[in-house]
Structure 1
């Protein structure tokens, strides 16, 4: 009997340990430069928590978010936590959110933002794909290349061509020399290209080179997932694409 109790207790402890290790971490906010922060939220993929990066840009006229938290149709707790952090820590209203492509790690919190009265914008293609995925539509007002200013902070959005998806854009903060690459750019910590179910592998390298031509002096390059560095992330993305191409069977 004692042996049976010990086995049961052991199974309960193991189950609790597994559940704890597989639980989703809470929002993490990391200061990058004066007025710019990286927000990191987590989604579950194959039973493991995976980080997703976006930006918080604090201006004199309110906050601009680059990408929502990683949420789903059923849960928007990550974006709620993000809005709560901005309200408590920056005490500024969120004026705008720019989403960089239509996957749920970037648009999943649109419903929470809309509920809070926050404007969400994207390209026309991202808006179409977002609706097709079952999320609320962002405003499809961004052209392929445009710069606008909020609170004296210039922000440039640029469509370099297809890559991770057909609609991926990057966001450039010229004053801070920060490039938010989103999932178009792979972290130097990445060993592979990740999800490529919607990737254009024949165009991705060309698109990365366009970004390098325009933003090759970036001090920080923020990938969609994992750690950030400088333009080494762009070079690493090209290397991963080259390795992937070399590994494919010749026809």
Structure 2
């Protein structure tokens, strides 16, 4: 199943480079509780995909980050109303760029609580403020499964969060690059020196997980290792 998902995502990314209209959002079932959503935005003449997760518990569901804008987020929430047994009651915002919180207003329209790190809240610019800030690790029990929201230290952006999903999953957001990434991407708000240490902090959390979801691109194995390589290459260039 995992190899099939990787093939689909790779083929779809190739198609998106050539089309002029925004591609439709894609939904992939990772397991019985977890859905991967891919949403697209045009940047530099190409459609860039961003990854999001919905985790369904026995009591309620959680959304990890919002798509690029309110329209996409409303579409995702409409999908959740029909696809999920338990409603989304919480959205974790992993940092304050538009690919992570561009649809926060649509989330608030539905009365969904939002949490973010204080450093990211300070940088939110034109976006609505999240309802709550968290600076320490937090365990969230959804019923039947749980999440652990972790602040590993800065890297891609101030206050970037990552999420451990039960024992088997890990959501890195833009703190983690895909295994086939060629660069660290947007470094406008990055602290690459801190990123190196922050990666080592989360390494034990990643051990034993079945899958890791980066902020963009393929879910292929090796994303943590590739992120380490890219960070080290960047630091070497600075020396």
TM-score, length basis structure 2: 0.88
Corresponding residue number in structure 2 for 1:236: 226
- What is the CA RMSD across the aligned residues, in angstroms? 1.8
Q: Is contact 2:68-2:102 (8 Å) kept?
A: yes
Give a deviation string over 1:35-63, Cα, whole Å, max 9, x none: 10111111111121100111110111222
Which of residues 126, 131, 137 in structure 2 aligns to 1:139? 131
Corresponding residue number in structure 2 for 1:79: 73
Structure 1: which 5+ residue stretches go unaligned?
1-19
1:128 equivalent to 2:118? Answer no
Give a deviation string over 1:13-38, Cα, whole Å, max 9, x none: xxxxxxx8122111111111121011
1:188 equivalent to 2:179? Answer yes
Task: State the secondary structure of the residue aligned to 2:192.
Answer: coil
1:69 equivalent to 2:60? Answer no
Task: State the secondary structure of the residue aligned to 2:21.
Answer: coil
Q: Is contact 1:127-1:139 (8 Å) kept?
A: no
Q: Is contact 2:117-2:160 (8 Å) kept?
A: no
Higher relative contact order (CA 8 A, sep 6+): 2
The CA deviation at 1:215 is 2.5
Q: Is contact 2:63-2:90 (8 Å) kept?
A: yes
Task: State the secondary structure of the residue aligned to 1:41.
Answer: strand
The CA deviation at 1:91 is 4.4
Task: State the secondary structure of the residue aligned to 1:33.
Answer: coil
- Aligned pairs for 1:195-234 within 5 A: 195-230=186-221, 232-234=222-224
Which of residues 81, 84, 94 in structure 2 aligns to 1:100? 94
Inter-CA distance 234–100: structure 2 relative to 1 (3 Å threshold): same
Corresponding residue number in structure 2 for 1:12: none
1:246 equivalent to 2:236? Answer yes
Corresponding residue number in structure 1 for 2:50: 52
Structure 2: which 5+ residue stretches go unaligned?
1-17
Structure with larger Rg: 1
Corresponding residue number in structure 1 for 2:20: 22
Corresponding residue number in structure 2 for 1:17: none
> Following the alignment from structure 2 to structure 1, what is the Cα–Cα distance between the partners of residues 58 and 136?
27
Q: Is contact 1:28-1:41 (8 Å) kept?
A: yes
Q: Is contact 2:56-2:142 (8 Å) kept?
A: no
> Following the alignment from structure 1 to structure 2, what is the Cα–Cα distance between the partners of residues 147 and 36?
17
TM-score, length basis structure 1: 0.84
> Following the alignment from structure 2 to structure 1, what is the Cα–Cα distance between the partners of residues 138 and 109?
27
Q: Is contact 2:28-2:37 (8 Å) kept?
A: yes
Corresponding residue number in structure 2 for 1:159: 151
